[in-house]
Structure 1
Amino acid sequence: MKKWIIFSGTDWFRPSVTSTRQIMMQFRQKGYQILWVNPIAFKSPAVNSKNRKSMQKKILNKLQTHLKFIRKADQGVYILVPFYIPLFNGAGDKINDMLIRLQFAIITLFLGIRIKETILWISGSFTLSPVLRKPFYRKIYQAADFISDFRTNNQTLLQELRKKEYYLGTHVDHLFASSPNIRAKLEHLTGRQVTLLTHGVNFTHFNTAGEVNPLMLKVKASGQPVAGYFGTLSDANDKEAFRILANNGFSVVIIGKVLGDYSSLENLDNVFFTGPVDFKELPSYAQAFDVCLLNWIMADWIYNSYPVKALEYLAMGKPIVSCPIPIVKELFGSLVYFADTPEEYLEKALLALKENSRELSEARVSAAAEHTWESKFSIIESVIR
């Protein structure tokens, strides 16, 4: 008999592989069949877009994703991109809840999924909240972020998100949180026990040296040190940090889909936008970084977070300059440089180059090796069993 787990996580079609995707891979190795349900938007693209260009990029990205509906991604892995009405109000929620229930019933019937023997795993959205009353074998909410601390000044939206997160958090069997801050906030919101499940790393993938991508060899040929970043680029990133590094002797390599307005950097000769890079190819680019960046503008969303790429950078033995994220400080404070301003990113990047050594590189690798996804999955198994 087939074992099924249904995931609702981030956009499957983004090249970055999130923590929920990594957890999915662990379940896949244990013989589970996978149904991945792509998220529907819980806010208008106009929210938190700094200008029209940022908003247009977000809308285009959504449209490209929703040209797909159901497809088989791999043996035993199916992707559902649900149809929904982009109305972000009470009436829109009721319509979309009905649409989700209908599409969910159709796809589970089509795939022969027996709900009572199936695990439901939700992370990052409220897409599958309408099916939470179904009698799943286990229902899990993984809070990789605290959704109701979303980056916005729209208090009405934040109140709605808090209600939805409360409903989600009180209608599952188990709660996981990726950082102590998120755990504390989720426990306060729901009044329930939350298990700390910090992120892991695909250690072998990032630690195994291979050939450097030809593009990066061209960048390195300038003789300038390379400051690099990979991941989705939004208006939450500190763009001024990129600019100051580029104007002071660094080649800046920015890898990922651009969803914000980065026009201020596009004319700088030593800033290189590669676009999205497949996860399989990512180490061939990133191993050419001399300094790795975690440069976001501090807000509650970032303060609570635990970026997976911190571990991925460490697994390569690379120096990191980061905004002051508490969990990164707690776990890796002696191995990471922290900056509060764009000018400090430059200062700490130069210091990182000066202090870098084989011993420090080995210490970073050793720290990452203690946080593999295999070790995190053992925590999951002990809880849900």
Structure 2
Amino acid sequence: MSWAGPSQPHIQPSTAISQYSVEACETRKPTLLCLSHLRWGFVYQRPQHLMSRFAQDYRLLFWEEPVPCEEAEPWLEEHPGNVTVLVPRLPHRFQGNTPMTVEAQRGLLDDYLARHEARDLLLWYYTPMSLAFSAHLPARLVVYDCMDELSAFRGAPPELLICERALLKRADVVFTGGYSIWEAKRRLHDNAHPMPSSVDIAHFAAARQPLQQPADQAQLPSPRLGFFGVIDERFDLELIDQVAVMRPHWQIVLIGPVVKIDPASLPRRDNLHYLGGKRYDELPAYLAGWDVALMPFALNEATRFISPTKTPEYLAGGCPVVSTSITDVVRHYGNSELVLIADGAAAFVEAIEEALLLSADRPALQAAADRILGDMSWDKTWSAMREKIQCAM
């Protein structure tokens, strides 16, 4: 997926005063600096949903991990907007988490905050690794939103756990992306709260209506089984390959970027369709064309604590779900009639066949999905976080 910062329009004299007023109002807001391992334009998920809402109360800065550049000296790429995205650009001689790399990022960050007169700073961490260049900042409040157990992911730096322990000592409040990871982190912090990722029901409910099918999916016959998300070490490639072999007439649509694994390792079958990354606003059109939604996650250390946002998104679109036995999925949806749990290829195929029967009765399926989702919303999650933040100040 790609993202480009907004272009800067020429300000006519008649609008300059109102523009100045808006900017002056922004400078009076407290500043929330979000330090993230995920890029703003990668996949629209928890950080984007939450930071877009917190931008109502804060001047919102979203700091990404460094990107190499050809210039001789470090510089900061800025994408201004309702959420201002900041990308450190470091010359190739800055490699890894070295003191030189840390110092370069600290300098860029300090310079930006000084130039923009950041006030009443709130630090919001998605990655403990950012503590190395930001720990010196005088923050009114420090939040650690632990959405995943990053230390279990492929390629995690060995010092991540040390950095996390330091962050947990400094954090005023800790949020977690699900209950399993909360059960682990609550032992390490006395102000930790489970805040499972939610769903934009209205956005995905568009898939319940007939939508024009995207060109790269429209030609595929039914039944169609689909997945959207990142394809990485958490995705069970062997399972999806076995399902494709066992049911060659099922068309399996896989949407999302391939990261941290060799694309050459992806199974290739006539009924496996890798459509690449799609924009968030494109997903309902794909979902509308699926008979069953899939969550074929591997059961390994990287998935031990995950709480997939896809579950409620699929249900909001009126699609039955088949998942492997991810702990938080079983905990919250295992007793529902629309989320079927199965491990191993034979059981997974059997569950899909059951889900296809459910898919035949769309009105009943959608009514059941609404009962499961209840009043879930990102607004509700955001509101609960705001309350905990206010209590911690």
TM-score tier (shorter): 0.7 to 0.9
**Residue 341 of structure 2 corresponds to residue 342 of structure 1:** no
**Residues 125, 271 of structure 1: CA spacing in aligned structure 2 closer, same or farther, 3 A cutoff?**
farther
Q: 1:354 aligns with which of 357, 365, 390?
A: 357
Which residue does the alignment assign to 2:44?
A: 17
Give the letter aligned to residue 196 of structure 1.
P
SS in 1 for 2:130: coil
Which residue does the alignment assign to 2:380?
A: 375
Task: Report deviation, 1:128.
Answer: 4.0
Which residue does the alignment assign to 1:103?
A: 108
Equivalent residue pairs, number: 349
Deviations 1:33-88 (A, max 9, x none): 22111135xxxxxxxxxxxxxxxxxxxxx669x999423253x3221112456645
Which residue does the alignment assign to 2:283?
A: 282
Distance in structure 1 (CA, Å) of the matches to 2:232 and 2:116 = 36
Deviations 1:92-132 (A, max 9, x none): 44223222211111121233312xx1221111452244313
User: Does the 8 Å CA contact 1:183/1:196 hold for their aligned counterparts?
Assistant: yes
In structure 1, stretches of 5+ residues that fail to align are 41-61
User: Does the 8 Å CA contact 2:340/2:355 hold for their aligned counterparts?
Assistant: yes
User: Does the 8 Å CA contact 1:229/1:253 hold for their aligned counterparts?
Assistant: yes
Distance in structure 1 (CA, Å) of the matches to 2:197 and 2:169 = 23
Task: Report deviation, 1:11.
Answer: 3.0
Distance in structure 1 (CA, Å) of the matches to 2:80 and 2:353 = 43
**Residue 38 of structure 2 corresponds to residue 38 of structure 1:** no
- TM score, norm. by length of structure 1: 0.82
User: Does the 8 Å CA contact 1:146/1:186 hold for their aligned counterparts?
Assistant: no
Distance in structure 2 (CA, Å) of the matches to 1:175 and 1:235 = 26
Deviations 1:346-381 (A, max 9, x none): 221111112343323322233234220011112111
User: Does the 8 Å CA contact 2:106/2:133 hold for their aligned counterparts?
Assistant: yes
Which residue does the alignment assign to 1:330?
A: 331
**Residue 320 of structure 2 corresponds to residue 316 of structure 1:** no
Which residue does the alignment assign to 2:294?
A: 293
Which residue does the alignment assign to 2:85?
A: 79
**Residue 182 of structure 2 corresponds to residue 179 of structure 1:** no
**Residue 199 of structure 2 corresponds to residue 201 of structure 1:** yes
Larger Rg: 2
Give the letter aligned to residue 140 of structure 1.
V
User: Does the 8 Å CA contact 1:200/1:376 hold for their aligned counterparts?
Assistant: yes
Distance in structure 1 (CA, Å) of the matches to 2:164 and 2:230 = 24
Distance in structure 2 (CA, Å) of the matches to 1:262 and 1:250 = 22
Q: 1:245 aligns with which of 232, 243, 246?
A: 243
Deviations 1:329-355 (A, max 9, x none): 121112311122233322211111123
Distance in structure 1 (CA, Å) of the matches to 2:179 and 2:213 = 37
Give the letter aligned to residue 323 of structure 1.
T
In structure 2, stretches of 5+ residues that fail to align are 1-27
Give the letter aligned to residue 70 of structure 1.
E
Deviations 1:144-199 (A, max 9, x none): 012233357x9xx55x32211111111111111122221122233x3433111111
Report the identity percentage.
23
User: Does the 8 Å CA contact 1:141/1:174 hold for their aligned counterparts?
Assistant: yes
Which residue does the alignment assign to 1:256?
A: 256
Which residue does the alignment assign to 1:268?
A: 269
Distance in structure 2 (CA, Å) of the matches to 1:185 and 1:296 = 21
- TM score, norm. by length of structure 2: 0.81
Distance in structure 2 (CA, Å) of the matches to 1:365 and 1:314 = 8
Specify which structure has the bigger relative contact order, considering alpha-carbon pairs within 8 angstroms and separated by 6 or more residues: 1
Give the letter aligned to residue 341 of structure 2.
F
Distance in structure 2 (CA, Å) of the matches to 1:297 and 1:380 = 31
User: Does the 8 Å CA contact 2:77/2:89 hold for their aligned counterparts?
Assistant: no
Deviations 1:194-250 (A, max 9, x none): 111111111111112452333265244x2x311111112113311123223333121
SS in 2 for 1:281: helix
SS in 1 for 2:231: coil
Give the letter aligned to residue 357 of structure 2.
K
Which residue does the alignment assign to 2:19?
A: none
